[in-house]
Amino acid sequence: MMLAVFAAAGHDLPTLQTPEFWVAVAFFLFMALLVYKGVPGLIGKALDERADAIKKNLDDARKMREDAQALLAEYQRKAAEAEGEAQKIVEQARREGETLRAEAERKATEAVTRRVKIAEEKIARAEMAAISEVRGAAVDAAVAVSEKILAAKADDEIGQRLIADGITGLKSKLN
């Protein structure tokens, strides 16, 4: 009947043999089949599930960001505490270093003083030994000269004996 309407109006009848007609018929049948099977509802449901999953991921990401910010704040606080502690340790080490330096200076001063005292004692002993040696040499020289002088003046045996006794006595008295 529709064909008769087209023909009466003076239009060319669409032929059932054109490819465009059959493509249009197949398209409408396919769409009707999709609607009949409920595909648009399935697509809507899948899109809703996808939107819910994205929203859940965004919420999880927001929560992770908040947790990361809290963790960052905690680490920054701990870093500040650690820096303060490090400064205390450095200050303590500096004070201990000063104490050790002062103690080392005191010990070095004591050691130098002790060595100077020992050196002065050695010098005094060497000086006494030198004086004693000079006295001994002077006594020996005086005795030798006295012996020669007395030997020249006293020829007899008694004189020789007195001279020897006097020299021996003189040596013991001068040393």
Asked whether residue 29 is assigned to any structural domain, the reply reads no
Residues 6+ apart with CB under 8 A from 166: 146, 150
Asked whether residue 151 is assigned to any structural domain, the reply reads yes
Residue 12 is classified by DSSP as P
pLDDT digits (tens, 9 = 90+) for 89-145: 999 999 999 999 999 999 999 999 999 999 999 998 888 888 888 888 887 777 777
Q: CB of 7 within 8 A of CB of 1?
A: no
Asked whether residue 24 is assigned to any structural domain, the reply reads no
Query: How far is residue 106's CA from residue 97's CA, in Å, rounded to a whole number?
Result: 14
* pLDDT average, residue stretch 8-36: 79
Residues 6+ apart with CB under 8 A from 88: none
pTM: 0.38
Number of domains the chain contains: 1
Asked whether residue 129 is assigned to any structural domain, the reply reads yes
Q: Which domain holds residue 170?
A: 35-174
Report the interhelical angle of 157-174 vs 39-153 (nearest 10°): 150
Beta-carbon count within 10 A of 18 CB: 10
Asked whether residue 150 is assigned to any structural domain, the reply reads yes
Q: CB of 154 within 8 A of CB of 163?
A: yes
pLDDT digits (tens, 9 = 90+) for 51-62: 999 999 999 999
Query: How far is residue 68's CA from residue 76's CA, in Å, rounded to a whole number?
Result: 12
Asked whether residue 60 is assigned to any structural domain, the reply reads yes
> What's the pLDDT at 6?
47
